[in-house]
Amino acid sequence: MAEAARRRLDSSPPELPFEGLRVVDVSSLYAAPLIATNLADFGADVIKVEHPRGDDARRWGLAKDGVPLWWKSVGRNKRSIALDLNADEGREVVRRLAGAADVLIENFRPGRMEAWGLGPDDLQARNPRLVYVRVTGFGQTGPMSSQPGFGTLAEAFSGFASITGQPDGPPTLPPFGLADGVAAQVGTWATLAALYWRDVQRGGGQVVDLSLYEPLFSILGPQLAEYQQLQVVQQRQGNRSPRTTPRNAYETSDGRWVAISAGTQQIADRVLRAIERDDLVGDARFADAASRRAHADELDGLVADWIDAHPLEEVLHAFAEAQAPIAPIYDASQIFADRQYRERGSFVDLPDPELGTIAMAAVVPRLSRTPGRIARAGATPVGADTEAVLSSLGEDGWPAGGSR
């Protein structure tokens, strides 16, 4: 999409789809930096700008011998430089980089970048082709725009927590950065949409205004329409679904857990066959989705009782024989040993100078001709590439070399 990448198409195709794309990442923690990571995984040259104290993501999660483990994944495939944006010198470096970049990503509170003279009007005056990506808790507009926002608040504000948890329990928050992760995926395609409009539709740069709560809100299903039209407010149902049954987590006789979701009548019939209740296929109580929902307790109990009487391997075999979808509920140790994960390459063991190897999720999605790759894990020393980057700034303001 970048001009350099399009020039390469005239000769030979790039090895990775975003080669030639220049990205300045001045964000911290998770959602916004993950947008930059996604672009870097597919070839973009990303310069990660951190405060000299380091991105807060370096201090999240566990460390081994002082090496932050999560940072190895979040900071991968980027060149890391340390700048203090409160200082004129640091801001001037960002201006030079942004003047030659295709994308700048930031997640400061609204107004902070403008106060530094680094807002979109400032930088796009210098580089009209710049796609300026802004990630905040509540967006750049609205009465809450100036409030600090994090993924946890977005998971609450979006409606997600309200419908998650047991019926007699409290609203439940996810134990990982769900809102941040969803926002990052949306932010990635939004960035690419802006670049496509710029380069293919012959437009110019623009601003991507991304809140943390709206991407998660947008995938929660029809609950808003159900409230507007029927005054129905979706309630917490544990692992059940208000729209289909059986759908739950079930414990086997050997203490393992499996997940089932009968999203169609055909699957529901296969589940009945898997639990050796062929006699109930076609039964009026379970003959369609509405009837199954009306008899959800009865049907769910039948499935739970059968699974409770059989060990995991027998349960998986019976469901496979009936072609009824089922999956074991894994923890990290089981994922690490699983053949599907291993043989498909769903995670990689990446060589690392400090840890020997470090395991992390592989690049997604998979492209048949230009798949992404992880060239290096996140650099542990803050600003590991500062000297190399600042000493090689070209006439256009972009440093020589790259993350590949």
d(CA 17, CA 13): 9
Residue with tokens 């970049």: 101
Q: How many C-beta neighbours within 10 Å does residue 91 have?
A: 18
Give the SS3 label for residue 95: helix
Output the CA torsion sign for 296, 297, 302, 305: positive
**Residue 346 corresponds to which tokens in the numbers above?**
């769903």
- Our CA angle for 305, 311, 316, nearest 5°, is 90
Backbone phi, psi, residue 387, to 5°: -60, -45
Residues 6+ apart with CB under 8 A from 12: none
d(CA 302, CA 300): 5
Tell which phi-psi region holds residue 221, choosing left (phi > 0), alpha (psi between -120 and 50) or beta: left
381 neighbors 387 (Cβ within 8 angstroms): no
Q: Which residues carry out catalysis?
A: 180
